[in-house]
Amino acid sequence: MRDTEESPEEEVADISARLLGWYDRHAREMPWRVGPADRRAGVRPDPYRVWLSEIMLQQTTVAAVRSYFRRFTERWPDVGALAAAEDAEVMAEWAGLGYYARARNLLRGARAVVADHGGRFPETRDGLLTLPGVGPYTAAAVAAIAFDEPATVVDGNVERVVARLFRVETPLPAAKPALTRLAAAITPQERPGDHAQAMMDLGATICTPRKPVCSLCPLGPDCAARRDGLEVELPRKAPKAVKPVREGTLWIAVRADGALLLETRPETGMLGGMLGWPGTDWDRSGGPTDPPIAADWRATGVEVRHTFSHFHLRLSVLLAEVAQEAVPARGSFVPHERFRPSSLPTVMQKAWNVAAAAIRHPRGEARLD
DNA sequence: CACGCGTGGGG
DNA sequence: TCCCCAAGCGT
């Protein structure tokens, strides 16, 4: 081998060094993160906070997570406190963040840590994998960041960075195993947590999906996609299915004392376990289509539009005032003073906004989507 | 293994 | 206005 050629081991070491050097200078500040300087001074992140943040960050942006993380940790500062929380309180606090199965699994996970692990998180990737809601990504991330295990962390950012770095042209998701192997090859034994966070920061700020800023990239000299002008093309992805449009109706009943008729949705399915307005099914499967309570229902005249992960929804919102003695067939009345729209999933908040506007301005028309 | 599962921001 | 996307997991 000539002096000008690097061995694969040397190239891997260079990539790792360049990446960590960049991270030392550009690590983003996050409430759950111990920065590289503090980390090397021996400060260790709290596994509870790392775990909580990683669950929240699944398919969710850092910007969206920040305020939720702050509220959760103020209200439930450790895993024992969270394990002891009421289900409804946790679901209400999660409202608006989406993918509500995460909140149900979060509680199950907290309770498993308390019941099965003496209140301490498992310290290995394999141990963490046994927790509900913790899959390959989250287990590796917590093991690396909180416990210094040189586990390979592969999320959407890492897939993109590695696909470009090594010019992997196989489309996702078929390329995932190969990308995982390549990601493992550049995972260092030292500072694995910082390495993982550096890869994700790089993907989020430099090696972005649409317009990567290769001129600022610490791995520019190493990147095969950039060398070949393929950085925007990679990673290739299988085409996505078109979202169908579905329709439904929500009924919002206001009792004479101002109480509102709400119901807790079934644990499984859309918005599972969340509070919401009674309504029809959204898949026209022939479920109940009767109003939840007898009343003189009137249309608000405003269609609520909302897009979920796999379909568009158009909702009619019906409104009625009901007598104090009225007994609902579904759901239960929540006192006016105890109702907080922020405890509802976003689509239900939109419907409430329409109803509230209709209550304030009976002839008015507003448009929400 | 393919699909179900939210939401908000950016281009 | 739309489409794309974001630190995935469970089934």
pLDDT at position A369: 46
Whether a cis peptide bond, with omega within 30° of 0, leads into A188 is: no
Query: DSSP of A290-357, one letter per residue?
Result: S-SS-S--EEEEEEEEEE-SS-EEEEEEEEEEE-TT---SSSEEE-GGG--GGGS-HHHHHHHHHHHH
Rg (chain A; Cα; Å):
25
For residue A258, list its beta bridge partners: none
Residue A156 token pair: 């959407």
Instruction: Return chain A residues 248..307 having CB < 7 Å to nucleic acid strand C.
Output: none
Chain B positions with an atom below 7 A of a protein C-beta are 2-9, 11
- DSSP strand pairing (A312-322 vs A245-255): parallel
Look at residues A193, A227, A261 and tell me which one is the last residue of a structural domain.
A227
Look at residues A174, A199, A227 and tell me which one is the last residue of a structural domain.
A227
Per-residue pLDDT of chain A (369 residues; tens, 9 = 90+): 334 467 777 788 889 999 999 999 999 999 999 999 999 999 999 999 999 999 999 999 999 999 999 999 999 999 999 999 999 999 999 999 999 999 999 999 999 999 999 999 999 999 999 999 999 999 999 999 999 999 999 999 999 999 999 999 999 999 999 999 999 999 999 999 999 999 999 999 999 999 999 999 999 999 999 999 999 999 999 888 889 999 999 999 999 999 999 999 999 999 999 999 999 998 766 556 899 999 999 999 889 999 999 999 999 999 999 999 999 999 999 999 999 999 999 999 999 999 998 888 765 444 444
Tell whether A48 and A114 lie within a shared domain: yes
- Match 């021996």 to its residue by tokens: A42
Tell whether A325 and A190 lie within a shared domain: no
Q: Is A64 helix (H, G, I), strand (E, B) or coil?
A: helix
Query: What 8-state DSSP symbol labels residue A280?
Result: -
Q: Establish whether A233 is a catalytic residue.
A: no
Does residue A284 lie in a domain region?
yes
Does residue A73 lie in a domain region?
yes
Does residue A240 lie in a domain region?
no
As to burial, measured by CB atoms within 10 angstroms (0-12 exposed, 13-18 middle, 19+ buried), residue A26 is middle
- CATH number for A349: 3.90.79.10
Chain C positions with an atom below 7 A of a protein C-beta are 1, 3-10
Q: What is the Cα–Cα distance from A166 to A179, expressed in whole angstroms?
A: 9
Cβ of A368 near strand C (distance < 7 A): no
Cβ of A360 near strand B (distance < 7 A): no
pLDDT at position A241: 86
Closest alpha carbon to C1' of B10, residue: A210
As to burial, measured by CB atoms within 10 angstroms (0-12 exposed, 13-18 middle, 19+ buried), residue A123 is middle
Instruction: Name the region of A284 (left: φ>0; alpha: ψ -120 to 50; beta: rest).
Output: left
Note the CA–C1' distance, A308 to B8, in angstroms: 12
- Find, among A262, A251, A253, A256, the residue nearest to A323 by Cα: A256
How many Cα atoms sit within 13 Å of A284 on the Cβ side?
7
Cβ of A306 near strand B (distance < 7 A): yes
Tell whether A253 and A206 lie within a shared domain: no
One of A6, A29, A54, A303 is an active-site residue; which one? A54
Q: Looking at the 3D structure of chain A, how many domains does it have?
A: 2
Does residue A366 lie in a domain region?
no
Tell me, rounded to whole angstroms, the distance of Cα A277 from its chain centroid.
23
Determine the residue type at A86: E
Note the CA–C1' distance, A214 to C7, in angstroms: 21
Query: DSSP of A180-246, one letter per residue?
Result: HHHHHHT--SSSHHHHHHHHHHHHHHTS-SSS--GGG-TTGGG-HHHHTT-TTTPSPBPPPPPPPEE
Tell whether A120 and A255 lie within a shared domain: no
Cβ of A137 near strand C (distance < 7 A): yes
Note the CA–C1' distance, A308 to B10, in angstroms: 18
- DSSP strand pairing (A275-276 vs A312-322): unpaired
Closest alpha carbon to C1' of B3, residue: A310
Domain interval for residue A25: 8-227
Note the CA–C1' distance, A104 to C9, in angstroms: 12
Tell whether A143 and A188 lie within a shared domain: yes
Tell whether A65 and A130 lie within a shared domain: yes
Query: What 8-state DSSP symbol labels residue A172?
Result: B
Does residue A369 lie in a domain region?
no
Does residue A234 lie in a domain region?
no
Cβ of A353 near strand B (distance < 7 A): no
Cβ of A197 near strand C (distance < 7 A): yes
Q: How far apart are the first and last CA of chain A?
A: 63
Residues written for chain A = 369
